[in-house]
Amino acid sequence: MEALEKFLGTVSNIVWGPPMLVLLLGTHIYLTFRLRLIQRYIFPAIKLSLTRTSEGEGDVSHFGALTTALAATVGTGNIVGVATAVGLGGPGAVFWLWITGVFGIATKYSEALLSVKYRVKNSIGQMAGGPMYVLERGLGMKWLGVLFALFTAIAGFGIGVTVQSNSISQMVKSTFNIPYWITGLVIAVLTAIVIIGGIKSIARVCEGLVPFMAIVYILGCLIILVMNINAIPGAIVTILKSAFTGQAMVGGFAGATMMAAIRYGVARGLFSNESGLGSAPIAAAAAQTPNAARQALVQMTGTFWDTVVICLMTGLVLVTTGSWETGLKGAELTKTAFEQIPVIGPITLTIGLLTFVYSTILGWSYYCEKAVEYLLGTGAVMPYRWLWVIASFVGAVVSLPIVWSFADIFNGLMAIPNLISLIALSGVLVAETRKYVWEGNVLEEDKSIMGSK
């Protein structure tokens, strides 16, 4: 087992080496300026996401598509992922994680726009979209679309389910001393109840669950930050300083270089908000929307809430409380910070993580079934759903290092073909954005996105 962990860790370091960091951040920055700082529309986009307007053709509402994507992104990456980044890369990782989110808003907008524009209707009349269809229909590179779908179907077992159930089983064990297998069984049953019903069932649950879980967790973070308000300025200085110089050994913390801060900050930023990964656009393609740009605006708010707000708050909690100096990693590190709230702190964190985990498992199940559908047809979807339920149980009892390394590797492999399509089709992005956003036509109907092949 130790040899396998070491091997996966080595592969993960190769995949997430300097070339990947340059490609990912470079795409974020390139699209930001190519689209004239699309981030400046974030607040109108938030308003749009909460406003009921003319919908257009699709399987779920624009808000349902957003919350399904948020369900998949607001998860362990916000709690365990940030803690892992800080534990391995030091406080400076928080800065790089946050920067990945700010610039990643443009990438999330772009991949959602293309996925809606190039979506199709499957054999049973449902919308199907995502980078695989963008690569096939937009670039004429079906072989690359097949690779993306294959990576997605495999990666989902890491980032989408095993990582999630592993995190909550560890937390429940340490908080309530409940055996791992019991937690895994409960998660598996709850997962099966929802995902067997498909996207409409998933979206219906996520529309109610996502706002609740985000509010509960944010309130917990705010209470801790208020309790440590005098430490916030110093924490910000520490984060900024170590982002560019690395962090020397402090307390139980072993020290980290600047490269480690960038590597783990960017990797966990992608794991959390999935901008550039190509997963969230699969949910966007199911949305009822008059044009691709409107849904793209709605979807980009997901990165704002996930990373710019929630991940930043987690990072500030870890640094202001001094928990990062203990040498702990993962969920145990975040738990130490939440223990500053007597009695209810760890319970609040556990409930928050449980809802985050469950919603992520639901959201990613949809991504992966669409990838399987692209590869094998609609008949393969139901068997895959049952495999997903089984994986939610298995993940609760496996080793955390193996799961994280596995997730990192296939995240990177997914991102590469998706980022290629974004760069190659940037002219399409500009044209669509000019027509519907810059010229103020976000409610204008575009019949070309109605899913016809």
pLDDT in tens, 56-111: 666 677 787 788 777 777 766 777 778 888 888 888 999 999 999 999 999 999 99
Q: What angle do CA 345, 264, 238 make, to 5 degrees?
A: 65
Burial class of 255 by CB neighbour count within 10 A (0 to 12, 13 to 18, 19+)? exposed
SS (H, E, C) 365-400: HHHHHHHHHHHHCHHHHHHHHHHHHHHHHHHHHCCH
Q: Is residue 63 situated within a structural domain?
A: yes
Point out the least confidently predicted range of 74-78, 127-131, 178-182: 74-78
Q: Is residue 448 situated within a structural domain?
A: no
CB 262 within 8 A of CB 354: no
Rg (CA), the chain: 20
How far is the C-alpha of 388 from the C-alpha of 385, rounded, in Å? 5
The structural domain count of the chain equals: 1
What are the structure tokens assigned to 122, written together? 């499957």
Q: Which residue has the tokens 């370091």?
A: 13
Mean pLDDT score, 418-435: 96
Burial class of 266 by CB neighbour count within 10 A (0 to 12, 13 to 18, 19+)? buried
Q: For 183-195, how does the pLDDT look when each residue is reduced to its tens digit (9 = 90+)?
A: 999 989 999 999 9
pLDDT(453) > 60:
no
**With b meaning 16 or more CB within 10 Å and e meaning fewer, what string describes 230-254?**
ebeeebbebbeebbeebbeebeebe
Q: Is residue 329 situated within a structural domain?
A: yes
- Containing domain of residue 392, as a range? 2-439
CATH code at position 29: 1.20.1740
**pLDDT on residue 86:** 86
How far is the C-alpha of 232 from the C-alpha of 422, rounded, in Å? 38
**pLDDT on residue 83:** 85
Q: Is residue 450 situated within a structural domain?
A: no
C-alpha dist (Å) from residue 262 to 86, 88, 152, 363: 11, 11, 25, 28
Helices (H), 246-291: 258-273, 280-284
Q: Is residue 316 situated within a structural domain?
A: yes
**pLDDT on residue 148:** 95
- Of 394, 389, 3, 10, give the one whose Cα is nearest residue 196: 389
**pLDDT on residue 435:** 95
- For the entire predicted model, the pTM comes to 0.89
* DSSP assignment of 188-257: HHHHHHHHTT-HHHHHHHHHHHHHHHHHHHHHHHHHHHHHTGGGHHHHHHHHHHHHHH-B--BTTB--B-
C-alpha dist (Å) from residue 117 to 135, 278, 293: 12, 14, 9
How far is the C-alpha of 78 from the C-alpha of 89, rounded, in Å? 16
